[in-house]
Chains A and B, each alone.
Chain A
Amino acid sequence: MTSAVIAPLAIEIHPGEHPEGHFLGMTFNLDTIWVTVVAGAIVVALGFWARAKLTEETPDHVPTKIQLVWETIIDQVTTQVTANLGKVNPFVIPLATALFFFILIANWLEVIPTELNSDTHLLPSPTADTNLTYAMAALVIVGVWTFGVRQKGLKGYLKHFLEPYPYLLPLNILEELVKPITLALRLFGNIFAGGIMLGLIAGLVSLAPSNIPVGPALAIILNVIWKLFDTMFLGGLQAFIFALLTVLYFGMAGGDHGDHDEQDEHVQHDQAEQKSAEPEPAH
């Protein structure tokens, strides 16, 4: 029976496979959509609960504990953001808040052990599907571009592609395209890898060197450690990074990067280039 010791561990993981539905000639990842709905419902319910708690009237205007905590956080964030970026579009705050809490809940759903068998996973993190992260990144970058154009005017906004030097135009365009893609893939990669790790850890169950079944205990311990570290901690961190970068991108789009009026004549030419470049990240 020595062959059992060196036999390869039978691990069956299917990264990127989803139960699919088809409609109008398009494929839909049903699990992603389902968990998005669940996470969204939790976020909205939390939001309404927070609203009830935070708008509570107290005698003598003494804030409750949760109100005090919330106001402290909001105060800090507002101070930091305005100190670094100046005045921020009021649309940014709800967007960043929604992004943070939605990603947080979506990531944390992975903690709940809902993988009944290798085919049925009730609540996989929807953030481990590029469809969701692309969608959120697209929403952010379209918002950033809209905000930038509104703040500086189309001409003023396009001008910043020539700054600080006109020959940096390709890099500036690249940067603008890289922003949403990195935003989407950073989150996806982290959560997707976390899911794969959980699958690999689960596969350790059959590990039994010298017929001693250490596998199950090891799998449970590693599972707990990994869920605490990756799913809880890194999941929260990723949510925070996504929201923070959103605020930063808005701030960069609205902020001033110095005036270079002599480069005005290039703008018309660049405009056409930019138009063709913009739709790309969404697909």
Chain B
Amino acid sequence: MVHVTAGLIPLASNFLVPNGTFFVELIAFGIIVWLLAKFVIPPINRAMTARQDAIKKEFADLEEAKAAAHKAEEEFKAQIADARHEAAKIREEAREQGAQIVGEAREQAQAEAARIVEHGHAQVRAERQQAVASLRAEVGTLAIDLAGRIVGESLDDDERSTRVVDRFLADVESMQAAEATAQDGDR
């Protein structure tokens, strides 16, 4: 058994009993806390938050830039597609126009050709008529001259000679017609 009497350990030297040091320590530690709370921790937290905010902002900016780039790309693609469409349209139009021009040219050429042919026909007809007329005039004279020489009589009597020539020509024409009919019949 250990007997601890009141006088054995004086309170002054009992280290469980606080003394005046307590108040000094309270103040000293209070000052340390105050210094840290006032001058050290808030700036550190502020700097940390500021840096994190800045980084967050940079990320946001990046996202924005990416979105903008996407948008620009889409616009670009749309424009390219538009341009292609436009080009196709223009090509189509050009083809149509070309076809039209070719058609017109062909028509024109055909008309011209027809006109030239017609003109040729008309000329041929006119010349033929002319030839027929001159023949008619000359053949008569020549034939009468020839016949006159052969028969020895003058066929100066115009009325008569004309009648003879006309009859001859009519005979010739009828012969021609008969030949034509015969040729037609042969076919």
A binding-site residues for B, Cβ under 8 Å:
15-18, 23-24, 26-29, 32-33, 36-37, 40, 43-44, 47-48, 50-51, 54-56, 61, 63, 67, 70-71, 74, 91, 93-95, 97-98, 102, 126, 129-132, 134-136, 138-139, 192, 283
Q: Is A36 in contact with B25, judged by CB distance below 8 angstroms?
A: yes
Known interface pairs A33-B25, A98-B37; 9 further A-B residue pairs with C-beta atoms within 8 A, sorted by A's residue number: A23-B20, A26-B20, A27-B19, A40-B29, A44-B40, A93-B41, A134-B22, A139-B29, A139-B30
Would you call A32 and B48 a contact (CB within 8 A)?
no
State whether the Cβ of B33 lies closer than 8 Å to any Cβ in chain A. Answer: yes
Q: Select one of B15, B28, B54 contacting A16, CB under 8 A.
A: B15
Chain A's interface: helix, strand, loop or mixed, by majority?
helix
Most chain A CB within a 10 A radius of its CB, from B23, B37, B40: B40
Enumerate B34-93 residues with CB–CB distance to A below 8 Å: 35-37, 39-41, 43-44, 46-48, 51-52, 54-55, 58
Interface residues in B5-36 by Cβ distance below 8 A to A read: 12-26, 28-33, 35-36
Q: Determine if B29 and A135 form an interchain contact, defined as CB atoms under 8 angstroms apart.
A: yes
For this complex, 15 residue pairs linking A to B, each with C-beta atoms less than 8 Å apart, are A17-B13, A26-B19, A26-B23, A32-B21, A36-B24, A40-B28, A47-B39, A54-B48, A61-B54, A61-B58, A71-B48, A94-B33, A94-B36, A97-B36, A132-B25
Say whether A43 contacts B15, CB under 8 Å. no
Contact of B18 (CB < 8 Å), options: A44, A74, A283: A283
- Interchain CA distance A134-B20 in the complex, whole Å: 12
Chain A residues with CB under 8 Å of B26's CB are: 135, 138-139
Query: Residue A47 contacts which of B21, B25, B35 (CB distance < 8 angstroms)?
Result: B35
In the complex, are the beta carbons of B51 and A51 less than 8 A apart?
A: no
Query: Distance (Å) between the CB of B90 and the closest chain A CB?
Result: 51
Give A61 to B61 CA distance when docked, in angstroms: 14
Number of interface residues of B (CB under 8 A): 37
A to B contact number (C-beta, < 8 Å): 125
Q: Which 6 A-B pairs have the closest CB atoms?
A: A26-B20, A16-B15, A94-B37, A131-B21, A47-B40, A55-B47
Contact B28 A50 (CB under 8 A): no
Closest CB-CB distance, B24 to chain A, in whole Å?
A: 5
Please, which residues of chain A bring their CB within 8 A of the CB of B14? 16
A43 touches which of B24, B32, B52 (Cβ 8 Å): B32
Contacts of B36 in A (CB 8 A): 43-44, 47, 94, 97-98
Give A51 to B35 CA distance when docked, in angstroms. 12
A102 to B35, CA, bound (A): 12
Question: Which chain B residue lies CB-closest to A102?
Answer: B32
Q: A139 touching B33 by the CB < 8 A rule?
A: yes
Q: Identify which of B12, B32, B37 contacts A40 (C-beta below 8 A).
A: B32
Q: How far is the CA of A32 from the CA of B21 in the complex (A)?
A: 8
B44 / chain A contacts, CB cutoff of 8 Å: 50-51, 54-55, 70
Could you tell me the distance between the alpha carbons of A43 and B16 in the complex, rounded to whole angstroms?
A: 27
Partner of A33, one of B24, B35, B46, B47: B24
CB within 8 Å for A94 and B41 given contacts A54-B48, A61-B51: yes
The residue that A28 contacts in the complex, of B20, B29, B46, B47, with Cβ under 8 A, is B20
Q: A55-B47, A61-B51, A102-B32 are in contact. Are A131 and B18 (CB under 8 A)?
A: yes
Report Cα–Cα, A62/B109, bound state, in Å: 83
A27–B20 touching, CB < 8 Å: yes
- Chain B residues closer than 8 Å to A33, beta-carbon distance: 21, 24-25, 28
Asked if A50 meets B29 with Cβ closer than 8 Å, knowing A17-B13, A55-B47, A61-B58, the reply is no
Output the least CB separation between B78 and chain A (Å). 36
Flag if B25 contacts A51 (CB, 8 Å): no
- Knowing A63-B51, A98-B36, the reply to whether A16 touches B13 (Cβ < 8 A) is yes
